[in-house]
């Protein structure tokens, strides 16, 4: 019989006890956490997730887009909320990074949101949509234009803006039919959005009989375009299309002009942002951007712009109206469905038109907007304006 416990053995035992107590305390924390989360689910608010890029190069477009949704939700809350409950928003930043978007999506689902408004970048929206679909969470993106998002056959995925296979042809036609160009060069940022849009422009331009003399991609963190510009110039292109965001598009346009390349610079909604104009200059000639229709004639637009400026004191951004409309459509559908059950809300969204700042919005069976129109814009007097000769 051992009377004396070996000191080494004792310390091992001691360690074991400490480890055990650590595990126990961790388990207690987890259980309490889970219990609290469970309590929250039964609380008196309806949770909506707001997810988009809010930092880095694309921050301006993403953050203003979510500001728009927040204004709509504040208005609903002031009127008493939806289904008699106040709406609580959880706003997360996906940093325009697909991995981060996936994490954000899981976080929102874990937080018990009934719907998500977001994301902005197509390469974030698409992977996140898989998470939302698996969790039966409604998703409506105000600004992702890559067709794949609604081609996945997800019943809860909606998009309130147009698609790149509508946007690309408008830009391609403008280059060929209105600007009367036969040769263009295309550069894209190798993302789902940039490359997708660039490919659509290429298809359209070639189907109209034009020639694409250069089709290249460049990493999103590359800022030296010197060699690309030499190739553009050497390829004999009469026009140029940039498939990417304003953070690279602005400096690229400036650099082209500095190098004496004054051919038309055409891009899509990713460059439709105040910082782009700030970079290239308010009088930059020969810059054309495809974007949705001008909504400023709609009487509701003025009220929205005023409340946006009162709250945030900055330019409203390209997609804040889309964010505002997306939130309104979603909340109206929830109110009419009388429940947050995603199947019922989705059915309401697909069954009727909604009145928004963007006009009448009606969704097709895929979740896309019917008859969304892209038009061409240009920079004039420091502002973006619709071109009268837009196709």
Taking the complex as a whole, the smallest distance from the CB of residue 48 to another protein amounts, in Å, to: 24
Q: CB neighbours (10 Å) of residue 311? A: 12
Pairing verdict, β 211-217 and 287-292 = unpaired
Please, what is the Cα angle at 185 between 183 and 187, to 5 degrees?
A: 160
Nearer to another protein, 151 or 238 (CB): 238
Contact window for another protein (CB under 8 A) among 70-78, 209-217, 321-329, 368-376: 209-217
What's the token pair of residue 41? 């689910």
User: Which of 236, 285, 338, 373 forms a contact with another protein (CB under 8 A)?
Assistant: 236
User: Which of 279, 328, 372, 378 forms a contact with another protein (CB under 8 A)?
Assistant: 279
Asked if 38 is part of the footprint of another protein (rule: CB under 8 A), the reply reads no
CA dihedral 237, 239, 242, 243 (to 10 degrees): -90
User: Which of 178, 254, 301, 305 forms a contact with another protein (CB under 8 A)?
Assistant: 254
Asked if 365 is part of the footprint of another protein (rule: CB under 8 A), the reply reads no
Residues 6+ apart with CB under 8 A from 241: 171, 175, 184, 185, 186, 187, 198, 201, 266, 267
Nearer to another protein, 63 or 115 (CB): 63
Asked if 213 is part of the footprint of another protein (rule: CB under 8 A), the reply reads no
Task: Name the strand (E) or helix (H) holding 272.
Answer: none
Rounded Cα gap, residues 148 and 362, in angstroms: 19
Asked if 345 is part of the footprint of another protein (rule: CB under 8 A), the reply reads no
Asked if 283 is part of the footprint of another protein (rule: CB under 8 A), the reply reads no
Write each residue from 126 to 165 as x if it is in contact with another protein (CB under 8 A), else as -, in one continuous string. ----------------------------------------
What's the token pair of residue 215? 């089709």
Asked if 218 is part of the footprint of another protein (rule: CB under 8 A), the reply reads yes
Asked if 227 is part of the footprint of another protein (rule: CB under 8 A), the reply reads yes
CA dihedral 139, 272, 162, 187 (to 10 degrees): -100
Asked if 382 is part of the footprint of another protein (rule: CB under 8 A), the reply reads no
Closest CA to 65 of 245, 324, 377, 291: 324
User: Do residues 174 and 376 make contact, with C-beta atoms less than 8 angstroms apart?
Assistant: yes
Taking the complex as a whole, the smallest distance from the CB of residue 279 to another protein amounts, in Å, to: 6
Asked if 230 is part of the footprint of another protein (rule: CB under 8 A), the reply reads yes
Residue 74, preceding bond cis, omega within 30 degrees?
A: no
Map residue 317 onto helix, strand or coil: coil
User: Which of 11, 25, 40, 55 forms a contact with another protein (CB under 8 A)?
Assistant: 55
Q: Tell me which residues touch another protein (CB under 8 A).
A: 55-57, 59-60, 187, 190, 214-219, 221-228, 230-231, 233-234, 236, 247, 250-251, 254-255, 258, 260, 275, 278-279
């Amino acid at each position: 019989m051992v009377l004396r416990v070996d000191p080494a053995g004792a310390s091992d035992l001691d360690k074991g006890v400490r480890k055990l107590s650590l595990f126990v305390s961790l388990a207690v924390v987890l259980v309490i956490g889970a219990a609290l989360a469970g309590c929250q689910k039964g609380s008196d608010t309806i949770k909506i997730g707001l997810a988009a890029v809010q930092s880095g190069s694309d921050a301006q477009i993403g953050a203003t887009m979510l500001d728009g949704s927040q204004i709509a939700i504040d208005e609903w809350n002031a009127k008493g909320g939806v289904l008699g409950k106040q709406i609580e928003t959880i706003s997360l930043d996906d940093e325009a990074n697909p991995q981060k978007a996936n994490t954000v999506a899981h976080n929102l689902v874990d937080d018990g949101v009934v719907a998500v408004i977001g994301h902005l970048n197509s390469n974030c929206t698409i992977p996140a949509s898989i998470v939302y679909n698996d969790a039966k969470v409604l998703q409506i993106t105000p600004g992702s234009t890559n067709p794949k998002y609604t081609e996945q056959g997800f019943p809860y995925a909606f998009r309130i803006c147009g698609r790149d296979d509508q946007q690309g042809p408008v830009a391609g036609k403008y280059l060929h039919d209105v600007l009367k160009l036969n040769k263009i060069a295309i550069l894209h940022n190798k993302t789902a959005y940039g490359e997708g849009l660039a490919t659509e422009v290429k298809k359209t331009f070639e189907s109209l009989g034009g020639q694409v003399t250069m089709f290249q991609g460049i990493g999103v963190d590359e800022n030296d375009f010197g060699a690309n510009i030499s190739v553009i110039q050497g390829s004999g292109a009469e026009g140029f299309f940039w498939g990417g965001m304003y953070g690279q598009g602005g400096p690229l346009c400036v650099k082209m002009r500095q190098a004496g390349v004054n051919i038309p610079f055409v891009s899509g909604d990713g460059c439709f942002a105040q910082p782009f104009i700030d970079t290239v200059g308010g009088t930059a000639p020969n810059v054309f951007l495809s974007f949705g229709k001008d909504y400023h004639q709609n009487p509701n637009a003025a009220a929205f712009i005023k409340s946006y400026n009162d709250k945030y004191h900055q330019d409203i951004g390209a997609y804040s109206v889309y964010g505002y409309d997306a939130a309104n459509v979603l909340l109206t559908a929830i109110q009419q469905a009388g429940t947050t059950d995603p199947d019922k809300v989705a059915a309401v969204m697909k069954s009727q038109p909604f009145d928004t700042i963007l006009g009448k919005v009606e969704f097709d069976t895929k979740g896309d907007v019917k008859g969304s129109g892209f038009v061409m814009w240009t920079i004039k007097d420091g502002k973006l304006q619709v071109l009268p000769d837009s196709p």
